[in-house]
Structure 1
Amino acid sequence: MKIEINNIYAMDCIEGMKNIPDNSIDMIVTSPPYDNLRDYQGFNIDLHQTGQEIYRILKEGGVCVMVIQDQTKDFAKTLTSFRTIVDWVDNIGFKLFETVIYRKHGTEGAWWKRRFRVDHEYIPIFFKGKKPQYFYKEHLKIPTKHGGKVLSGSGNRKTNGETTNTVKRPINNLKCRGTVFEYLMAGDKNPLKRKHPATFPDQIPLDFIETFCPEDGVVLDPFMGSGSTAVAAKKLNRNFIGFDLSEEYVEISYSRLKEVTSTQQNLTFTN
């Protein structure tokens, strides 16, 4: 079958991606249904095979952004996140650009008397080839505490114990946010989105698509869920492809797209 852009397919993502040509996708943004942490209607996934297909279809310099966390079982973490990162790098061929910490409002849950509250998830960023084909981070910058001031600093300690001279320099109003991204909105409160059992904030795909996907590029989400990746892609004038085994979730995604896109008449539900 032929896979068309700006469509979401109700089918297994591994089988679906097999119909996509090599080196044709600019970016992947996804959150796989890991460790049975939510009810995904009984569906199971193979992250290794998923990674193999993602690597094949990504262009040289293409980027894959994944949101993932580990289940706690018998007081111990499953390490699914770390195992997946090592497997994709050592056995599939990806390089790890960075692992961003997604900071959120954690819930106490059943373990609140016996564990720390979990206020984060991991966002490993993989790329194919020598370097990412596209990188832009101006929209990610955050206010600087002393922006606009002139301060002394930049003295560094040498290996022989001496310290270099300090210098005076103006402080920029904005700075790189670093590798801790805060998404503390406690959900997007979209009633359609809440029909899905496990979602991430829409701001995540918005931030990363603008950073790593060129304009008019194609973003693919193999586990489309409630449609956040597709919605973000359309808002940013990028194309999308999505897969999800659940027809119910595919319908939710299209309903959300109809709320935000002026090209809704060109979208079709594909089984």
Structure 2
Amino acid sequence: MAEKKLLGSIELNRIYQRDCIEGMRMIPEETIDLVVTSPPYDNLRTYNSAADLTEVGRECFRVMKDGAIMAVVIQDQTKDFGKSCTTARTIVKYVDEIGFKLFETVIWAKSGRPGAWWNKRFRVDHEYILLFLKGDRPRYFNKEPLKVPAIYAGTRFHGTTRKNNGELVGTSDNVQAEKKCRGTIWYIDPSKSEKRSIKHEHPATFPDKLVDDLLVCFSREGDIVLDPFMGSGTTAVQALKMGRNFIGFEIEREYIEIANKRLDAVHSEEATE
């Protein structure tokens, strides 16, 4: 049996069934290296509890280390032909009231079901990944593993450099590399990499790769990753696979059971290697 790891009175690598705000109050200040979560919002799914996103943000800010990132996957409800603006309100509250910086807003571009047709509005093919920063600069940031194939790989470009005043100064002559820096639009289609599994018994999941990319970019092995809304356990599972520790909170027992089954499967795989 593996030795238990403790953070104050909290046991690491465990999902607790309790309200996340109450749970996070058990975590010592400035001990969390990364937060990855997708909170319930705008009643887009049926849950037995509501989330106070502002209070969640305050507690996350308290427990995060200086330089830690909080990644929030979120969208807006459309009602009576208008957006709820939950995303925008969350950004303003987290920055103006709590003290985060908005490090970046990433667009997760999703593929809709083939043949889907929405008669009265555009189909929503994206969610936001809000990257909030505590402190002056990220404690760890490595975008190298996130590079994507370059469309014009091998093409030679000839261009100029322009000063702020509009003056052209010199020229550049470069060949596009095979891969390029990933921008703020992330194309992640779980249907191409994930088979239908027990995780999808939860009504709102995010892709394993999305979590992998956040983990590899903003954390190191051995770091502690927090998910206040653990759901089907994707943050925990991917953290375990990538050598990170995790803490999770989830109010629904049935979702914790799903998450624990997935974690047991990871442990079983490790035991046979």
Q: Are the structure 2 counterparts of residues 26 and 161 from structure 1 closer, same or farther at C-alpha, using a change threshold of 3 Å?
A: closer
Identity of aligned residues (%): 53
Q: Does 1:48 align with 2:54?
A: yes
Residue number in structure 2 paired with 1:112: 118
Q: Are the structure 2 counterparts of residues 245 and 148 from structure 1 closer, same or farther at C-alpha, using a change threshold of 3 Å?
A: same
Q: Are the structure 2 counterparts of residues 248 and 111 from structure 1 closer, same or farther at C-alpha, using a change threshold of 3 Å?
A: same
1:161 Cα deviation after fit: 4.5
State the distance in 2 between where 1:173 and 1:72 align.
Answer: 40
Aligned length: 263
Residue number in structure 2 paired with 1:25: 32
Structure 1 residue runs without a partner (length 5+): 266-271
Q: Does 1:186 align with 2:188?
A: no
RMSD: 2.1
1:116 Cα deviation after fit: 0.7
Q: Does 1:13 align with 2:30?
A: no
Residue number in structure 1 paired with 2:214: 208
State the distance in 2 between where 1:127 and 1:46 align.
Answer: 20
Q: Are the structure 2 counterparts of residues 67 and 170 from structure 1 closer, same or farther at C-alpha, using a change threshold of 3 Å?
A: same
Deviation digits for residues 28-67 of structure 1 (CA, Å, limit 9, x no counterpart): 0000011110112x21110011001000000011110010
State the distance in 2 between where 1:118 and 1:185 align.
Answer: 16
Q: What aligned pairs does 1:29-178 form with structure 2 within 5 A after superposition?
A: 29-40=36-47, 42-106=48-112, 112-153=118-159, 155-159=160-164, 161-178=166-183
Q: Are the structure 2 counterparts of residues 56 and 160 from structure 1 closer, same or farther at C-alpha, using a change threshold of 3 Å?
A: closer
Contact 1:258 1:264 in 2 (8 A): no
1:11 Cα deviation after fit: 0.5
State the distance in 1 between where 2:195 and 2:22 align.
Answer: 33
1:163 Cα deviation after fit: 2.5
Deviation digits for residues 104-147 of structure 1 (CA, Å, limit 9, x no counterpart): 02359998111111111101100111111000111110112233
Contact 2:161 2:172 in 1 (8 A): no
Residue number in structure 1 paired with 2:3: none
1:177 Cα deviation after fit: 1.4
Query: Which amino acid in 2 is paired with 1:214?
Result: R
3-state SS, counterpart of residue 190 of structure 2:
coil
State the distance in 1 between where 2:171 and 2:215 align.
Answer: 39
1:258 Cα deviation after fit: 1.4
Contact 1:106 1:120 in 2 (8 A): no
- For normalisation by structure 1, the TM-score amounts to 0.91
Deviation digits for residues 51-88 of structure 1 (CA, Å, limit 9, x no counterpart): 01000000011110010000011110001111011101
Q: Does 1:259 align with 2:265?
A: yes
Contact 1:107 1:118 in 2 (8 A): no
Q: What aligned pairs does 1:191-270 form with structure 2 within 5 A after superposition?
A: 191-262=197-268
3-state SS, counterpart of residue 165 of structure 1:
strand
Structure 2 residue runs without a partner (length 5+): 1-7
3-state SS, counterpart of residue 193 of structure 1:
helix
Q: Are the structure 2 counterparts of residues 150 and 88 from structure 1 closer, same or farther at C-alpha, using a change threshold of 3 Å?
A: same
- 1:2 is matched with which residue: 9, 24, 29? 9
Contact 1:218 1:238 in 2 (8 A): yes
* Higher mean C-alpha displacement, 106-115 vs 19-28: 106-115
Query: Which amino acid in 2 is paired with 1:184?
Result: D
- For normalisation by structure 2, the TM-score amounts to 0.90
